[in-house]
């Protein structure tokens, strides 16, 4: 048996979710836009999922726009806002590439973070003021709720307050893809104009995501995908009914179990982080209290993370450096560089990420394997 400690990359789909989505591949396969009774069945299921998610996200059902995943939701937020209302975009320097890449395409300004990874409200205020001083009212501000690499929770309510005060016209987007398992997203994103979520990070399937588009944003946003006018004309394409249903079930279960999961996983995470700190001298770049329960991001001085992962993998322990590109090559983490790390230190980082299915046995295996691998790599350095 191995240990899967890469839940921030993706999570296993839970049985209840698979069960819930199966009918939409067989009996209820119809296109929800159709005019016949089979289509109506599919549409009812889609609307049901939309309502359920709206309840869990603290928004209205019509504000839930289904997408193909978190990346598309982020792209729709950024590209859609800018094409609807051209103007300056400010994003944090530690955003996921799904926000950074489209933002950089329109020349977005990056807002730096503190060494602990947090975007300070004062820093955002200064950036907004500088923007206004140049006579340009910002179109969009985007700061993620939970960082995908180091797990740091950003003070989104405070940041939203700053934006409302300094740039009342600007839309505020938050990428909450890494948050839902651990945090009350509805409460923390209340009032945000745009919120991105992904199904497969919460034990749902890949290929489904949501962009919450609140009224203020809906007036501005232009679609990225055009065609049949689905999803309030914000996202064309036949809806992924099975995916939407699955995401709703996954979210419902995650929300119901959240308190229990957070308490249990935090304990496992502490055991892993404390254990590795003791056995290997691993360092924690960001304080644990700022991070979600599943995040165990460590730096192993004198060890190349890439090498550690290889040895760990060979012994059945799956983790990540948190910054792999599609080719599989480690890239210097833009998150760690933004936090002030040098490139050498950045390559000593490894992201273990735990999830609701993580067991004590997996943590014990990881402790044993990683301790041994670090010792071996240091011995032969």
Partner 1 sequence: MRVLVAMSGGVDSSVAAALLAQEGHEVVGATLKLWGGEVGSGCCSAGDVRDARAVADRLGIDHHVFSFVEEFEESVVAPYVAAHAAGRTPNPCVECNRHLKFAALLRRALRLGFDALATGHHARLALSPGGRPRLLRGRDRAKDQSYVLATLTAAELSRVRFPIGELTKAEVRQIAAGLGLLTASKPDSQDVCFVARRSAAEGGSGGRGEFLGRRIPLHRGRAVSASTGELLGEVEAVELVTVGQRRGLPGGGRARRYALGVDVAARTVLVGGEEDLYVEEVDLDRLSWVGEPLPAGAGCLVQTSAHGPARPARVRDAKVRFLEPARRVAPGQLVACYVGDEVVGSGVAR
Interface residues toward partner 1, by CB under 8 A: 304, 306-307, 310-311, 326-332, 343-344, 347, 376-377, 380-381
- Distance in Å, CB of 328 to partner 1, minimum: 4
**CB-nearer residue toward partner 1: 75 or 333:** 333
Cβ(291)–Cβ(297) under 8 Å? yes
**CB-nearer residue toward partner 1: 116 or 307:** 307
- Distance in Å, CB of 18 to partner 1, minimum: 28
**CB-nearer residue toward partner 1: 184 or 307:** 307
**CB-nearer residue toward partner 1: 16 or 306:** 306
Active site annotation includes 325: yes
The CA distances from residue 56 to 60, 184, 235, 256, in Å, are 10, 9, 21, 10
Nearest CA to 313 out of 277, 207, 324 is that of 324
Contacts for 370 with CB less than 8 Å, ≥ 6 apart: 276, 280, 308, 312, 317
Alpha-carbon distance of 61 to 320, in angstroms, equals: 36
**CB-nearer residue toward partner 1: 42 or 346:** 346
Alpha-carbon distance of 262 to 179, in angstroms, equals: 12
- Distance in Å, CB of 330 to partner 1, minimum: 5
Structure-token match 């060890």, residue found = 303
- Distance in Å, CB of 329 to partner 1, minimum: 4
N-terminal to C-terminal alpha carbon distance within the chain? 29
- Distance in Å, CB of 149 to partner 1, minimum: 16
Question: Among the options 131, 192, 296, 325, which is catalytic?
Answer: 325
Q: What are the strands, taking DSSP E only, across 39-126?
A: 64-67, 89-92, 109-111
Catalytic residues: 325
């Amino acid at each position: 048996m191995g240990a899967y400690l890469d839940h921030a990359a993706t999570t296993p789909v839970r049985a209840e979710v698979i069960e819930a989505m199966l009918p939409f591949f067989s009996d209820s396969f119809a296109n929800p836009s159709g005019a016949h009774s089979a289509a109506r069945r599919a549409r009812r299921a889609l609307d049901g999922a939309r309502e359920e998610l709206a309840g869990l996200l603290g928004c209205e059902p019509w504000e839930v726009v289904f997408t193909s995943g978190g990346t598309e939701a982020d792209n729709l937020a950024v590209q859609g806002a800018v094409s609807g209302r051209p103007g300056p975009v400010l994003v944090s320097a530690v955003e996921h590439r799904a926000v950074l890449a489209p933002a950089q395409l329109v020349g977005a300004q990056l807002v730096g973070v503190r060494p602990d990874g947090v975007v300070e409200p004062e820093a955002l205020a200064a950036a907004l003021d500088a923007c206004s001083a140049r006579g340009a009212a910002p179109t969009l501000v985007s700061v993620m709720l939970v960082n995908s690499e180091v797990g740091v929770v950003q003070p989104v309510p405070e940041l939203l307050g700053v934006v409302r005060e300094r740039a009342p016209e600007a839309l505020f987007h938050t990428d909450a893809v890494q948050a839902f398992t651990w945090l009350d997203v509805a409460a923390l994103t209340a009032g945000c104009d745009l919120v991105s979520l992904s199904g497969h990070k919460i034990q749902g399937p890949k290929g489904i995501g949501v962009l919450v588009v609140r009224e203020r944003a809906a007036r501005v946003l232009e679609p990225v995908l055009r065609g049949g006018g689905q999803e309030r004309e914000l996202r064309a394409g036949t809806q992924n009914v099975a995916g939407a249903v699955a995401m709703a079930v996954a979210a419902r279960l995650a929300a119901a179990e959240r308190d229990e999961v957070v308490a249990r996983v935090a304990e496992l995470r502490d055991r892993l982080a404390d254990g590795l700190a003791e056995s290997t001298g691993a360092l924690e770049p960001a304080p644990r209290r700022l991070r979600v329960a599943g995040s165990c991001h460590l730096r192993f001085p004198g060890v190349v993370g890439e090498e550690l992962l290889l040895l760990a993998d060979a012994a059945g322990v799956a983790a990540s450096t948190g910054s792999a590109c599609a080719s599989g090559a480690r890239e210097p983490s833009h998150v760690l560089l933004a936090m002030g790390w040098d490139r050498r230190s950045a390559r000593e980082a490894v992201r273990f990420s735990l999830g609701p299915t993580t067991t004590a046995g997996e943590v014990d295996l990881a402790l044993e394997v990683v301790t041994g691998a670090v010792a071996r790599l240091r011995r032969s350095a």
